[in-house]
């Protein structure tokens, strides 16, 4: 059974949850505490939809920081009910709540409503009055917020960083002394990649067994990559649900353009990509381009045809569908293919066994002696074709990196190796060492030396 881990490293770190009405600067404060731009920031209310979890620390004390969507957002927002359920679930698990209000507008009725909701949770609440840019205004602005019935108030400017230190001192005073475990290695990252509305967030929730990402039938729901740690069969992974990657030419400037960049960054952070195809729409040109990003980034991959439960099938459907996909994206020949339904859990149980095996392949290292014993057999059985009437010479090869497995072959003339022979050698590596699921990189480098006999 999958177990969601609610923090970045063991032991489970306490949650500090940022809560507030829309557009008071929650994501700006989130980024300020982290010291980097990790949440999308925009003047448009309601930009943050999913709850984002990141590891943070202050003066050596560590905690899990959560950025939430705007509490009690507009009723016409189709996601409002789902967002509120997520926020309430997150807040109930908080060790400390950062209640963010707007110092420029002063307290509004919605702030009173949120304060009442938070007091009922019986959690430590640090009220953060944001957008206080002048020390002369601080006393008057803070006084106006005492009517909320909360006494632990701090004036800050999340944008400029003023007042943040005193606020974090107050927050960490409520937390136990939790520190990162020395020597803890990075968890294997698994990015869920695909076009909008292919079922990425549904798959994330199914793999986790809990509603961690916002799910709706409206394309483009997920804007921020959502990281979730999960433990499966005693092994821990970091799942990354990305915003839907769209064709660059059709991506609007600003928010949507930044979403595209964030999705590409998620690929850079992962080891393995789950590449989702909508079974009803089939493999599109955009899918092929998106999947090419994973290939170019050198990531292991699994191709998942989602919503397979919605397809009318006969005994030939699966084979024909698989053949069509393979023909359209031959550059992912190494990636296993599964037909699933994230919603009904059809064949979802097959994903993590694939992941475990492929990650081993991704980090495979082969000794130089074994490689060159293999090379001798290859050259005697099928030497490289002639180039300009001369036989190219391959002296030896060696593995220079893993993740993905990367090899260098030393030859007398790199340009003399035909691309078909290059592909042949890569296929021999796949067959000999059973490296399903991972790309293999093979480079040729000029070197004078004696040919292995």
Name every residue whose Cβ is closer than 8 Å to that of residue 248 and which is 6 or more positions away in sequence: 260
Give the domain range for residue 248.
189-362
217 and 141 belong to one structural domain: no
Output the six-digit token pair for 235.
């092994």
57 and 162 belong to one structural domain: yes
| Beta strand residue intervals within 256-403, DSSP E | 272-278, 300-306, 337-339, 394-401
What tens digit of pLDDT does each residue of 4-13 get? 443 333 334 6
355 and 378 belong to one structural domain: no
101 and 208 belong to one structural domain: no
For residues 414-425, give the mean pLDDT.
96
**In the prediction, which pLDDT does 256 show?**
40
What tens digit of pLDDT does each residue of 142-157 get? 999 999 999 899 999 9
Count structural domains, the chain.
3
440 and 325 belong to one structural domain: no
**In the prediction, which pLDDT does 452 show?**
46
> Is 182 inside any structural domain?
no
Please state, as a whole number, how many other Cβ atoms lie within 10 Å of the Cβ of residue 176.
Answer: 11
132 and 166 belong to one structural domain: yes
25 and 48 belong to one structural domain: yes
Whether 436 shows a pLDDT value over 90: the answer reads yes
Among 130, 146, 172, the domain-final residue is 172
Among 362, 392, 427, the domain-final residue is 362
What tens digit of pLDDT does each residue of 172-188 get? 999 876 554 333 346 89
355 and 372 belong to one structural domain: no
**In the prediction, which pLDDT does 220 show?**
45
For residues 21-40, give the mean pLDDT.
80
Whether 381 shows a pLDDT value over 90: the answer reads yes
Coil, strand or helix at 249: helix
**Pick from 65, 58, 51, 64: nearest CA to 13:** 64
CA torsion 88-90-91-97 (nearest 10°) is -150
> Is 194 inside any structural domain?
yes
Whether 247 shows a pLDDT value over 70: the answer reads no
291 and 154 belong to one structural domain: no
For residues 405-423, give the mean pLDDT.
95
Q: What band does 262 get if pLDDT is binned at 50, 70 and 90?
A: low
Whether 250 shows a pLDDT value over 50: the answer reads no
- CATH of residue 92's domain is 3.40.50.300
For residues 267-286, give the mean pLDDT.
91
Among 119, 146, 172, the domain-final residue is 172
Distance (Å) of CA 346 to CA 307, 326, 399: 9, 22, 39
> Is 179 inside any structural domain?
no
> Is 358 inside any structural domain?
yes
**Pick from 222, 261, 260, 254: nearest CA to 43:** 254
> Is 336 inside any structural domain?
yes
**In the prediction, which pLDDT does 167 show?**
95
269 and 308 belong to one structural domain: yes
CB-based contact 331:292 (threshold 8 Å): yes
**In the prediction, which pLDDT does 349 show?**
95
208 and 127 belong to one structural domain: no
CB-based contact 100:19 (threshold 8 Å): yes
> Residue with structure tokens 């909508």?
278
> Is 180 inside any structural domain?
no
- CATH of residue 406's domain is 3.30.300.20
Average pLDDT, the chain: 82
> Residue with structure tokens 């944008």?
159
Alpha helices in 14-163 (DSSP H): 26-34, 80-92, 109-119, 135-145
133 and 253 belong to one structural domain: no
Whether 405 shows a pLDDT value over 50: the answer reads yes
CB-based contact 188:237 (threshold 8 Å): yes
Whether 49 shows a pLDDT value over 60: the answer reads no
Lowest mean pLDDT among 25-29, 69-73, 109-113: 69-73
How many whole angstroms separate alpha carbon 203 and alpha carbon 212? Answer: 11
């Amino acid at each position: 059974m999958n177990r969601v881990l609610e923090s970045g490293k063991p032991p489970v770190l306490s949650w500090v949850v940022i809560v507030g009405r829309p557009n008071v600067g929650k994501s700006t404060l989130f980024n300020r505490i982290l010291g980097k731009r990790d949440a999308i920031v925009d003047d448009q209310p309601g930009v943050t939809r999913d709850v984002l979890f990141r590891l943070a620390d202050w003066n050596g004390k560590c905690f899990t920081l959560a950025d939430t969507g705007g509490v009690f957002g507009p009723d016409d927002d189709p996601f409002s009910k789902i967002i509120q359920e997520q926020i309430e679930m997150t807040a109930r698990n908080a060790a400390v709540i950062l209640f963010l209000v707007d110092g420029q507008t002063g307290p509004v009725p919605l702030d009173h409503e949120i304060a009442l909701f938070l007091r009922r949770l019986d959690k430590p609440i640090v009220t953060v009055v944001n957008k206080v840019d002048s020390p002369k205004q601080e006393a008057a602005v803070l006084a106006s917020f005492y009517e909320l019935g909360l006494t632990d108030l701090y004036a800050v400017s999340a944008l400029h960083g003023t007042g943040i230190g005193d606020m974090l001192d107050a927050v960490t005073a409520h937390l136990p002394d939790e520190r990162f475990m020395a020597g803890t290695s990075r968890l294997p990252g698994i990015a869920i990649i695909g076009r909008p509305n292919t079922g990425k967030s549904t798959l994330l929730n199914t793999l986790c067994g809990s509603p961690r990402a916002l799910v709706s039938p409206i394309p483009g729901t997920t804007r921020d990559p959502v990281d979730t740690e999960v433990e499966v069969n005693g092994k821990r992974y970091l799942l990354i649900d990305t915003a839907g990657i769209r064709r660059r030419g059709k991506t609007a400037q600003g928010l949507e353009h930044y979403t595209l960049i964030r999705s590409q960054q998620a690929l850079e952070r992962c080891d393995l990509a789950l590449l989702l195809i909508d079974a009803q729409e089939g493999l599109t040109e955009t899918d092929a381009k998106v999947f090419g990003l994973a290939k170019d980034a050198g990531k292991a991959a699994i191709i998942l045809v989602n919503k397979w439960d919605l397809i009318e099938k006969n005994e030939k459907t699966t084979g024909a569908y698989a053949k069509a996909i393979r023909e359209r994206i031959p550059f992912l020949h190494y990636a296993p293919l599964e037909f699933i339904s994230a919603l009904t859990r059809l064949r979802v149980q097959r994903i993590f066994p694939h992941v475990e095996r492929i990650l081993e392949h991704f980090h495979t290292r082969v000794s130089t002696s074994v490689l060159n014993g293999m090379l001798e057999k290859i050259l005697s059985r099928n030497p490289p074709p002639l180039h300009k009437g001369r036989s190219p010479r391959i002296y030896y090869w060696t593995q220079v990196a893993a993740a993905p497995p990367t090899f260098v072959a030393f030859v007398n003339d790199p340009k003399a190796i035909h691309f078909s022979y290059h592909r042949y050698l890569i296929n021999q590596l796949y067959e000999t060492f059973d490296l399903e699921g991972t790309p293999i990189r093979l480079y040729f480098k000029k070197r004078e030396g004696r040919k292995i006999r």
